[in-house]
Structures are given as structure tokens and as C-alpha cells.
Amino acid sequence: MPSLADDSVALGALDGRYRPVIAPLIDHLSEPALNRERLRVEVEWLIHLTQNDIIPGAPTLTKQEQEQLRRLVTDFGADDIAALGEIERVTQHDVKAIEYFLKERLAAIAPASSERLGELIHFGCTSEDVNNLSYALMVRGAIQQVWLPKAQALVAQVEDMARELRAVPLLAHTHGQPATPTTMGKELAVLAWRLGRQLRRIEGAEFLGKFNGATGTYGAHLAAVPTADWQGISREFVESLGLTWNPLTTQIESHDWQAELYADLARFNRILHNLCTDVWSYISLGYFAQVRGQGTIGSSTMPHKVNPIRFENAEANLEVSNALLDVLASTLVTSRLQRDLTDSSMQRNIGSAVGHSLLALDNVHRGLAGLDAAPEVMAADLDANWEVLAEPIQSAMRALAAQGHEGMANPYERLKELTRGRRIGPVDLRAFIDGLGLPEDVAARLRALSPSEYVGLAPELVSHLDSVGHGQKHP
């Protein structure tokens, strides 16, 4: 049997059939992206050292040389990836390969001073000084530039649906049984509100970084230049990258911020999974019709079928994403004594974790975009379940009993006898109301009720979505 293995064949689905959807993450969470950010950190550290006279008597870089060094990062591409790979095959160390790569490029950019300046590349650094900042930059870019805009657009889409359907009556189901009516808009608003709350947590995430040497003591820094304010220099450098400085670490930055972020992402995923199962159920009940943009084959043998595959696909990808996010969050916070390498392998799975979530967002967006509400189906279900009005009748009787009205005793038990285990219609219910001896205004109010009108404040509750900006309007 011929082998299928070549460079064009993907082992995983994200780099195979789903690559077009997750492609924007490649610029942030791939191995080349990691090396680009490592190069960025090394370049910025060299510039920071030389331009702030931190090492007395060291050469400085001209503005043109600084620009050329920064272009190594902005222009980082296929040729650089290949050149870096060649160096790493010799060094067998990825960060050391970046150091040698930059030294080679520096020789061409600043030939007169490159020998002296070259010794300041990676000065005072352990590999984790470079790696932790690189990962923080990568994850920040992936979340803020790729994942968050998609998530915000999806929440806005759900909010728009909630507003549109705010007054469409819906037979609620608790424990799978007919319950007090609500509206479709209010139920979607609940999900949008929950998702939006998690978005606000993710939008406020901190991305921490450290830059303090082999075991977080600045030992090498002080030995080389004892007069420098190394804590101040470290803080200024980390914050110049747009990150939050972590002053107390071992050899590694503790990754607690990553655990916090991944837990929030996983919680968002779980709420989105709940949306998928609810919408799937509404489709199954006929409350939504899949009519728009459905050029797909629903079944290979049943022509009438349009399967809710977008929501099923999203469920599966959310589950894979959460499995990865959970293991990242639970393992990254632990490192034996001052350093072990488990985090190095673990962090290489961040792209897959975020990628499966991004794929789910895309599927849910496409699934919701293909739905039309079917108010007539919802109305028919409501009209077949007049027994749900037992609740307002017994509640009115309780209020009257508390006010001292005669004949209102045991309202719950009387309504239970009338409704439990059997269907009743409007005639049965109104006859029951007429026999209760209610004050005429209360009796008239209850006689006028129908299941589709017994939705309480549901339409008004949707307006709570307007009080907090959860999402951004989708295109």
C-alpha cells in the first residue's frame, strides 16, 4: 500500500478540512509564530539595552539599524523559517537557534559594531525569559485579534435574534415537560446574557510576563552590572511589550494567567454548547425551520432531511476544545521546584484548543444564520397545553385567600386534581374558573388568559441586553 504521508497531507482536522476557518490563528499560535515572537523579544531586548545605556560603554544602534532589526520580525517568512530550521538542526535548541539567527542578521545590519553588539543578544536571559513573553504575545494576539471578534459577533447575532423574537410566545419545557409559557426571544436573551458575561471576563484578561533570569533572582544581571536597577529595567521592558510585569517567579512565569484565561474560554464554550443543544431541540420540535443557505445534503438516502449539522459539529468541537483547555489550565500552574519542561510541550497545544473553539463559533454562526422561526408551530404547541394556566389561576386564588376571601382554600390541590395527567381545553378551564366564586374582575382577567398570552414580562426582559454591551454588531 502506498504511503499517504507527504507535506501536503494533514494528520488533524484543523490543518485539513477546517483549515480555511482557523487559518487566522496560524499567524498567532503556530510554531513559526512562536519563533517570530521569540525574534521580536530578542530584537526589542537588544534595542532596549543599547538605547537606555544599561550596559555602560556598549555600542548603540542607529535609528536605521533599529528599523532594520524590527523588519526582521515584520518580514519574517518562509525563507527565515527555513534558515532557522537549519540552525536548530545543529543547536538542537530552539531559543539558541533564534540567538544565532539574529547574530547572523545583525552582522549584515550593523557590520562595524556587530561583534560587540552580538554579545548583548540574549544578555542575562534564560530561554524562559524569551519564551514566556513570546507566548503571552501570541496568546494575546490570538484572543484579541481573532477569537474575540468572532465571539463578539456571535453574541451580537444571538442578541439580535432575541430582540427579533422577543414577543413570540413559546411553550417552556422544564424537565422536558410543558411548563409556564415564555417567549423565544427571552430564552435566547438568557443565553446571550450568559455568553456576554464570560466575554467581559475574557476581554479583561491580563497577559503576564517575567524577565528576571535563570531562577528569577537577577543573579547574572547583578554580576555583570551591579549598579543597574534590574527590577525597574525588567518591568519597563515587559510593559513596553504591552504585558503585565510579574515580579516574583521561578525560572518560568507561573502561567496562572493562562489557567485563568483558559478556564474562562472553557466556560464560554460550555455555555455555547448549551445554546447548541437548546437550538437543536427547538429545531427538533419544529420551532425553527432550517431554510436559508441550506444547499447541503441532509441524508444520503432521505431527501426530505436537513440535519442540524452546524450545531452538532459545534458541540463536538467545543468538547474537544474544552478537553484541551481544561488540561492546559490544570497542568500549567504546576512546575517541579524551580522548573520542569512539562509546560513546553503543553503550551504547543494552545493553538488546537483555541482552534476548535473558533471552528465551533463559525459553525454556530452559520447554523443560526440558516434558521427561520416558526411561530405557528410554537402557537400550536401552546394551544394544545391549556393546563399550563393552572399556575396563574392557583396563584390568583392564593392571593385572594391571603386577602381574606372565602372559598379559596387549597388552590394548588384543586388545580392539580383538574389538570395533572390529562389535557384540558379552554372550555374546561373557563368552567372551572366560573365555579370558583372569584371576584368578577379576577374571574374576567383569568377567563381572558390563553397560553400564548401568559408570558409575563418575557418580552420586556429582553431589553436587559441593551443595558450592557455584550457583543459587537456582526457584519
Instruction: Write out the catalytic residue numbers.
Output: 175, 299
Secondary structure (3-state) at 81: helix
Residue 145 C-beta-side C-alpha neighbours within 13 Å? 14
40 contacts 236 by C-beta, under 8 angstroms: no
Q: What is the gyration radius of the CA atoms in the chain, in angstroms?
A: 31
What the block records as the C-alpha cell of 353 is 484548543
The helix-helix angle for 31-51 and 78-91 (nearest 10°) equals 90
Compute the distance between CA of residue 59 and CA of residue 105 in angstroms, rounded to an integer: 17
- What whole-number distance in Å separates Cα of residue 315 and Cα of residue 276? 7
Neighbours of 333 (CB within 10 A): 14
- C-alpha dihedral over 139, 192, 160, 292, to 10 degrees? 80
Contacts of 221 (CB under 8 A, 6+ apart): 124, 213, 228, 230
Task: Say how far apart CA 288 and CA 376 lie, in whole Å.
Answer: 10
C-alpha cell at 329: 489550565
User: Can you tell me which residue has the cell 534558515?
Assistant: 83
What is the DSSP annotation of 301-313?
S-TT----HHHHH
DSSP 3-state of 373: strand
CA atoms of 170 and 188, how far apart (whole Å): 11
Element (H, E) at 131: helix 127-141
Asked whether the beta carbons of 252 and 244 are under 8 A apart, the reply is: no
Measure the CA–CA gap between 458 and 449, rounded to whole angstroms.
16
State residue 280 phi and psi, 5-degree precision: -55, -45
Q: 345 exposed, middle or buried (CB, 10 Å; 0-12, 13-18, 19+)?
A: exposed
Pairwise CA distance, residues 97 & 84, whole Å: 6
Exposed, middle or buried, 82 (CB in 10 Å: 0-12/13-18/19+)?
exposed
